[in-house]
Structure 1
Amino acid sequence: MRKVRINAGKVGLVFKNGDYKRVLTEGAHWVRFRESVNIYNTSLSFTSNALDLEVFLRDKELTDLWHVIDVLDHEIVIVYKNGKYSQTLTAGRYVFWKGLVTYDFTRADLTKIYITEKIDKAVFAKYDLHSHIRVFEVAAHEKAVMLVNDEYVKTLTGGTYRFWRNDTTIKIAKADLRQLQLEIAGQELLTKDKATVRLNFYAQYKVTHVEKALLETKEYEKQLYVSLQLALRAFVGSYTLDELLESKEALAQSVFEDSKDIAKKLGVTVLHCGVRDIILTGEMKDIMNRVLIAQKTAQANVITRREETASTRSLLNTAKLMEENEMLYKLKEMEYVEKIADKIGEITLTGNSGMVTQLKELFTTK
């Protein structure tokens, strides 16, 4: 016989010729010389091969010292050690010692999709648990439709959503709820008088019916783009180039009215439409420039003729007044003599007659 002491936090298993005999707990124990004792730390999990474990489980005294956790194929068990996450157990049998360490176990059924178990969010980030979870993020400005096995289940608002990972298919389709802008750039269209113009157009819209936009419509933004494009073609094709250039606001309003009912069926609401640019092609630009030059030339000619007519009428009125008033004639004559004299550098006079008489003879005709 020999004496063996088992300290606190330890457990001894007695074997004889390789066969398990009994368990020794804290204290002093006598064992026979042909018996061996394996000491185990109860703060650690117990590990053994499957055959030995089945033998150990026959001893009720020993199993009373254990947490025996059987995990099925479709399950996981989350282990907490003294209130803190320790590990995630997959299918199999696990043994933990009782007493020194406080263990808590949370069992989860992976055949479900929803996580109904009470699990702290911080634990989801642990690698061995995270691999069993599907995570979907929906931003605060978004809504999403959730499809399970390709069937609509519900609409999700902003947040983080977690589901158990299994054979069930889960899909999330998201829509942005903010005000969005759709650009229709560089559209070459024909007017009623066969002139080619290039239009840059925009529309502002919002998704107002998420289920209709994502479930009943395929690529709602592309369909909205096409509806706006067709409305543009219809309007431009019914106006001449001159009428179109004068009707930008009418164009935007017409496209808005034509597209809003179609947009409603797509699950969106058109808020505003506008024409950014109407651009003429190179040939049309040259033609319009020539037309503008011709118009401005014609306007200039009209103004010139109007001024010439007014000037002639003024001269006629002046002539009539001078004919009726000799003094006015003399004053006018002196005014022109003064103007002519400004252009002459030197004047030579003789002494045969008076200076005024000689000047008159120089600047006037008999």
Structure 2
Amino acid sequence: MFIKVIIQADERGLLFHKGSYTKELNPGTYHFSAWSQTTVVIMNITEPFVVEGRDLQLFLHDEALVQELDIVRVQDHEYVLHYEDGQFVQLLKPGVYAFWNILKKNAFLHTDIRQPELPAEIDRSVLTKLTAYVQSCEIANYETGFLFYDHVLQRELTPGKYYFWRGPVSVVVKTMDMRQQQMDLIGQEIMTEDKVSLRLNFVCQYRIIKPLRALEIKSFEEQIHIQLQLMLREYVGTLKLDDLLKRKEDVASFILSRLHEKSEEYGVQFLGAGVKDVILPGEMKDILNTVLLAEKKAQANLITRREETASTRSLLNTAKLMDENQTLFRLKELEFLEKICEKIGSISLTGGGDLLERLSSLIGENKAASK
């Protein structure tokens, strides 16, 4: 009795005798006796060379077989990208692999994951298939970044997107914002020289110009915040309340000049500073409002007296002119009579004489009566 084995064009056979590999069988028809203890494993050459339950090393002594295989060894510190006819197929982790090279051309790209940054040879279009093995970071166009391997600084990164292997090396990217920034000090409680407790709202604008220096400072923003607090207390503590309210702009100038001295130390350029608000306690507000009201009343009284004095002086000048000029006196009388007539509906006069003389005599009589 014979066993018939047919091997197709896209197949290869592996002949085993008593469980041991003997040789490769090319496409064709083979007959084996049933009692010969011979078996054939048929392999599809479009798939990787894998014989279940058998180690690859058992087949590598067959030179004819090895000629039709591409053997790739992936070290512990490597990832290998497998391409078939120029198309990415898979990522190979550490181990030994074999692929048929009869119908397809294999190519392998070895990458050392001890150097985590992906090499430029890897097309970015395949990264979506490698998300389990790759991490990425982005540096915005207003940022600069610093690359660390195992907490050791490697280099500065310009804006862009970067990809790194997930492997034995820890990768950290720290970014610094290079735009103009603002720091607000809200409700800083400070005591003036005359023992008045108040609260200040202060603002400072700055820009980082030496990002590496700023990165080396622990709690960078907190340290600048504390420096601003100390400078404010130093300056405001030497002023009385009235001086502070009058010279708020001087506070900003002093603080900014002191900050310029710290620019090199912090790696920043301080652009501006200013007092936004001075908040007084409630009782101090009442006192200041009372003082302000008294000052305004005094100013109003002074203005009133000035106006009264000017009015009196004007009347005196007018009287002098009328004494010296009878025509002017007569005109003033007519103006006065006109104003009287505007407020009187009708006037009845008896007797002869000129109308104007009669009205004048009437006015004179009224003045005598009032005396």
Distance in 1, matches of 2:92 and 2:325, equals 128
Deviates more, 1:16-25 or 1:254-263: 16-25
2:129 corresponds to: 126
Letter in 1 for 2:48: S
Whichever residue aligns with residue 50 of structure 2, its letter is T
Report what 1:224 is aligned to: 224
3-state SS of paired residue (1:46)? coil
Q: CA deviation at 1:90?
A: 2.0
Q: CA separation in 1, counterparts of 2:174 and 2:71?
A: 43
When residues 285 and 105 of structure 1 are mapped into structure 2, their CA distance, relative to the original with a 3 A threshold, is: same
What's 1:89 paired with?
92
RMSD over aligned Cα, in angstroms?
A: 3.2
Shift of 1:225: 1.9
Within a 5 Å distance, the mapping from 1:36-55 to structure 2 comes to 36-51=39-54, 53-55=56-58
Counterpart position of 1:61: 64
Q: CA deviation at 1:211?
A: 1.7
Deviation, structure 1 residue 144: 2.3
Aligned to 1:250: 250
C-alpha distance in structure 1 between counterparts of 2:26 and 2:79, whole Å: 31
| Residues 113 and 168, structure 2, Cα contact 8 Å, conserved in 1 | no
CA deviations on 1:250-284 (whole Å, 9 max, x unpaired) are 33222111112223211211122234344555444
Provide the C-alpha distance between the structure 1 equivalents of 2:328 and 2:57, rounded to a whole number of angstroms.
145
1:210 aligns to what? 211
Secondary structure of the 1:364 match is: helix
Amino acid at match of 1:165: R
- What per-residue deviation string (whole Å, max 9, x for no partner) do you get for residues 340-365 of structure 1? 34333343433387755553443114
Relative to structure 2, which stretch is displaced further, 23-32 or 306-315? Answer: 23-32
Query: Which residue identity is paired with 2:49?
Result: F
Deviation readout 1:59-90 (Å, 9 max, x if unpaired): 33333332333434333332111211111222
On the 8 A contact 1:145/1:210 being kept in 2, the answer is: no
Task: Tell me the TM-score normalised to structure 2 length.
Answer: 0.83
% identity of equivalent residues: 41
Alignment of 1:1-366 (within 5 A): 4-34=5-35, 35-51=38-54, 53-115=56-118, 118-127=121-130, 130-215=131-216, 217-324=217-324, 328-351=328-351, 358-365=358-365
Secondary structure, in 3 states, of the residue corresponding to 2:347?
coil
The CA deviation at 1:98 is 2.4
Pairwise CA distance, 1:176: 1.0
Range with greater deviation from structure 2 (158-167 or 262-271): 158-167
After superposing the two structures, state which structure 1 stretch, 261-270 or 67-76, moved more.
Answer: 67-76
Bigger mean CA deviation after superposition, 71-80 or 106-115: 106-115
Tell me the CA shift for residue 123 of structure 1.
Answer: 2.9
Question: In structure 2, the residue corresponding to 1:100 is in which secondary structure?
Answer: coil
* Residues 296-329 of structure 1 deviation map (CA, whole Å, 9 limit, x = unaligned): 3222222221222222223333444444555655
- The separation in 1 between residues aligned to 2:257 and 2:244, in whole angstroms, is 18
Distance 1:338-1:106 versus aligned 2 partners, 3 A rule = closer
SS at match of 2:350: coil
Instruction: Kindly indicate whether the alpha-carbon contact (under 8 Å) linking 1:106 and 1:117 is maintained by their aligned counterparts in 2.
Output: no
Q: Distance in 1 between matches of 2:314 and 2:230?
A: 62
Return the letter of the residue paired with 1:106.
Answer: L
Q: CA deviation at 1:36?
A: 4.0
Equivalences, count: 363
Mapped to 1, the partners of 2:157 and 2:290 lie a distance apart of 61
The runs of 5 or more residues in structure 1 that have no matched partner are none
Which range moves more in the overlay, 83-92 or 320-329?
A: 320-329
Deviates more, 1:81-90 or 1:156-165: 156-165
Question: How far 1:174 sits from its partner (Å)?
Answer: 1.5
Between 25-34 and 81-90, the greater mean CA deviation after superposition = 25-34
Amino acid at match of 1:359: L
